[in-house]
Amino acid sequence: MRGARILIIDDEEGIRTTFCAFLAKEGYAPIAVPDYQKAMEALDGEPFDLVFADIMLGSYSGVEILKEIKARGCQCPVVMITGAPEIETAAASLRLGAFDYLAKPIRKELLVRVTKHALQHKALGDEKRIIEAEKERYRFHLEAIFRSVEDAIVTVDDNERIIQVNEASERICGLQMNEAAGEPCDSLRLFCDRKCLRVVKQALKTGQAVREYRIECRHPHRTNQEVVVNVSPLRDSTGRQIGAVMIIRDITRLSLLERELQERNQFHGIIGRNRRMQEIYDLLENLKDIDTTVLITGSSGTGKELVARAIHFGGARAAQPFVVVNCSALAENLLESELFGHVKGAFTGAIKDKTGRFQTADRGTIFLDEIGDISPRIQLKLLRFLETKEFERVGDSTPVKLDVQVITATNRDLKAQVARGEFREDLYYRLKVVEIKLPPLAARRDDIPLLVSHYVGVFNQRFGRQISGISPEVEKLFMEYRWPGNIRELIHTLEHAFVVCKRPLIELADLPPEIREHAMPADDHGKDAVLEKGRVMDALRQAGGNKAKAARILGISRQTIYRKLRDYNNDNPSR
């Protein structure tokens, strides 16, 4: 340590002069003082790297200087000097913290050697203190992070014993910081499913990290608590596994928000976030505790049965039967027997009693689809049931009393049928105590991406595929298409695409021909073509003049591309 500051305290001027000369020659910076008072003044200034102190200093002693240096917390070594060496004095000095003890006369070689050793000792001590300070600062920062992080942090050793937990662990998991440390994982007093501990055991066993593992805690005092667990093995500098760290993030609030959003986008299987659909959800929510007749109207394929199911399964009758009858599928006499049942011998072929659908639905709900197709006779019988909650089986005059909620649906204009005398007015008003009008898909186009995303997931699971979605061209077509068949047509279109699609993304070429045609409106009606001539010609060049291949590239039929080429007066693509 060249340039090291060395303080020499001795009442003999010759010693001071000699020490200064020897040490200065070695490249050090010695400062000499004759007594205790001067030594204190020197120590009040810049710090020294080494101190030589004579044991005898008049009324004071070098031992007192040693004590003062230690009391001040100075980190410099102190070497004691004496002209009358005694074992007792030397031992006392070393006991008090002196680095060494030298007896006069002191040779230059010994002085230089002791000085080097003392300064090396100080350098090592300084380095150790720096490392300790860094470690303390690191520990303080780590503890600060542990305290401030909102996620629970739990560290365990390789024997599944808890090393440390942070404050958030108590809030999220109920782990007390002072009780958990040192305890085996299996002995912790937890009231949840302990799934997170199984994840820790898995990580310790396999040596592999576990990422974003979602757990429903099922804690009796933390209703609906959900967490995401991440576990990573801990390794030392050699790569040896020494434990694991588990981070538990409470996502209960996020999960509730997701559930609420999902409920607004999907109500009992009905997909949609369109404003009109939100109004329908609100109406369905109001209906869940009200037992009344409901008429569901809307075009074919808009999801009328789904709405009926939502009313039934969202209400007090959810645990009871839900019976569906398509009124247009049966002739009048068969429909009457199907709805109300018959007794043996009621008509030819009635070889035994039959329970009707109404009786099957007792205490539950019956859903009568295509109600506009029933005959006047069935209309009258249905009206009587709605008024009295009683009916008679075919061939029997004994009334049967039931508790059934009636929900009906039609794609017809019942009011117009009433005006034409085709449907009873009194029954019409009985049925439409509450009317739910379902909008066609064309009136809720903003729901199309949501519907597509949902059914892509459904068909991926059904067909074991991994299709990620639809191409931008298909999405544009879907948003512009009229969808006369409504949601049912959209579902069938996607199912067709899943059958023929060989890529991760559904393209125009994967759609049914009648849908693809709408990517380029037919010229028979005098409409302008969506595709410009340049695009068609580019596709032909790309296909090497093959019109069928060019049509597939464009996502249109061969007939359409032939029509386009005739319009361009260019039947020869090589020209």
**What are the strands, taking DSSP E only, across 142-289?**
152-157, 162-165, 210-216, 226-235, 241-250, 266-267, 270-271
pLDDT at 224: 78
196/226 same-domain check: yes
Beta strands in 58-169 (DSSP E): 60-61, 78-82, 100-103, 152-157, 162-165
Give the span between the Cα atoms of 157 and 175, in whole angstroms.
17
CA triple 355-359-361, angle to 5 deg: 125
Buried b (16+ CB within 10 A) or exposed e, 162-196: bbbbbbbbeebbbbeeeebeeeebeebeeebeeeb
**Do residues 31 and 14 make contact, with C-beta atoms less than 8 angstroms apart?**
no
Evaluate whether 366 touches 418 at the Cβ level (below 8 Å).
no
Percent of residues, the chain, with pLDDT higher than 70: 91
Q: What is the mean pLDDT of residues 68-76?
A: 90
Q: Is the dihedral angle over the CA atoms 414, 416, 420, 424 positive or is it negative?
A: positive
**How far is residue 75's CA from residue 122's CA, in Å, rounded to a whole number?**
7
**Sign of dihedral through CA atoms 46, 49, 54, 55?**
positive
SS3 per residue for 19-74: HHHHHHHCCCEEEEECCHHHHHHHHCCCCCCEEEEECEECCEEHHHHHHHHHHHCC
Task: Please report which confidence band the pLDDT of residue 266 belongs to, taking 50, 70 and 90 as the band edges.
Answer: low
Domain assignment present for residue 132? The answer is no
In a domain, residue 160? The reply is: yes
- Both structure tokens of 381: 């019988």
Amino acid symbol at 391: F
What does the alpha-carbon distance between residue 407 and residue 324 come to, in Å, rounded to a whole number?
10
Rounded mean pLDDT of 390-399?
A: 88
Mean pLDDT, range 472-494, rounded to an integer: 93
Residues 383 and 498 in one domain: no
| Cis bond upstream, residue 573 (ω within 30) | no
Overall average pLDDT of the 244-261 stretch: 79
- Cα 533–chain centre separation: 48
Same domain flag for 435 and 286: yes
Residues 6+ apart with CB under 8 A from 227: 172, 196, 214, 215, 217, 248, 249, 250, 251, 252
- Please report whether residue 168 resides in a domain: yes
Angle in degrees, 0-180, between the axes of helices 558-567 and 547-554, rounded to the nearest 10: 100
CA–CA separation, 342 and 326 (whole Å): 19
Looking at per-residue pLDDT, the higher value among 202 and 176 belongs to 202
Rounded average pLDDT over 302-325: 91
**What percent of the chain is helix, strand and coil (3-state, nearest 5)?**
50, 20, 35
> Quick one: 310 and 349 in the same domain?
yes
Residues 429 and 451 in one domain: no
Q: Are the C-beta atoms of residues 49 and 119 closer than 8 Å to each other?
A: yes
Same domain flag for 508 and 491: yes
Same domain, 416 and 560: no
pLDDT at 173: 84
Q: Are residues 291 and 235 in the same domain?
A: no
| Helices 62-72 & 36-43 angle (0-180, nearest 10) | 20
| Residue after which a domain boundary falls, among 408, 439, 470 | 439
- How far apart CA 112 and CA 23 sit, in angstroms, is 7
| Domain final residue, candidates 76, 96, 127 | 127
CATH number of the domain where residue 39 is located? 3.40.50.2300
Residue 140 maps to a domain = no
In a domain, 527, yes or no: no
Is 528 a domain residue? no
Q: Supply the DSSP symbol for 435.
A: E
Tell me if 261 is assigned to some domain.
no
Residues 278 and 372 in one domain: yes
pLDDT at 90 > cutoff 90: no
Q: What is the reported pLDDT for 569?
A: 56
Helix (H, G, I), strand (E, B) or coil at 394: strand
| Contact call for residues 572 and 564 (beta carbons, < 8 A) | no
Identify the band that residue 507 occupies on the pLDDT scale cut at 50, 70 and 90.
Answer: very high
Q: Burial level of 151, CB count in 10 A (0-12/13-18/19+)? A: middle
Task: Flag whether pLDDT at 5 surpasses 70.
Answer: yes
Same domain, 272 and 397: yes
Query: Are 388 and 470 members of one domain?
Result: no
The Cα–Cα gap between 263 and 270 comes to 9
228 located within any domain: yes
- Point out the least confidently predicted range of 44-53, 277-286, 549-558: 549-558
Q: Which domain holds residue 477?
A: 442-518
Domains in the chain, number: 5
Question: Could you report the per-residue pLDDT of 113-171, keeping only the tens digit for each?
Answer: 999 999 999 999 889 988 888 888 887 877 777 777 888 889 899 998 988 888 888 88
Mean pLDDT of 178-196: 79
Token representation of residue 412: 């017809």
431, 371 in Cβ contact below 8 A?
Answer: yes
* Rounded (10°) angle between helices 275-287 and 304-313: 40
The total of other beta-carbon atoms located within 10 Å of residue 411's CB is 17
pLDDT (mean) for 556-571? 69
